[in-house]
A = this chain, B = another copy of it.
Amino acid sequence: MVRFGLFGAGRIGQVHAATLAAHPRAELVVVCDPMLEFAGRLADTHGAVATSDVDAVLADDTIDAIVIGSPTPTHVDLLSRAVLAGKAVLCEKPIDLDLARVDACWEQIKDVDHTVMIGFNRRFDPSFADIRSRVAAGEVGQLEQLIVISRDPEPPPAAYLAASGGLFRDMTIHDFDMVRFFLGDVVEVSATGTNLVADHVREAGDIDGAVVVLRGASGAVAQITNSRRCAFGYDQRLEAFGSTGMLTADNLRPTSVRYSGAERTEAAAPYLNFFLERYLPAYRAELDHFIGAVENGTEPSPRFADGRAALLLADAAGESMRTGSVVRLG
Chain A residues in contact with chain B, CB under 8 A?
A: 22, 126-127, 130-131, 134, 139-142, 144-145, 147, 149, 151, 188, 190, 192, 194-197, 209, 211, 213, 215, 219-221, 223, 225, 227, 229-233, 241-271, 324-326, 328
Contacts and interface: CB of A to CB of B under 8 A. Distances in A.
Contact of A266 (B131, B252, B266, B326): B266
11 contacts: A127-B255, A147-B149, A192-B215, A209-B221, A232-B246, A247-B258, A260-B270, A264-B270, A265-B268, A266-B268, A324-B326
A245 B260 contact: yes
Nearest to A196: B144
Contacts of A130: 254-255, 257
A87 B243 CA distance: 46
Contact of A261 (B144, B225, B244, B257): B244
Contact of A262 (B144, B241, B270): B270
A192 B194 contact: no
B213 A194 contact: no
A212 to B, nearest CB: 9
Given A126-B255, A219-B194, A227-B145, A267 B264 contact: yes
A30 B326 CA distance: 52
A141 B131 CA distance: 30
B264 A259 contact: yes
Nearest to A244: B231
Contacts of A233: 265
A179 to B, nearest CB: 13
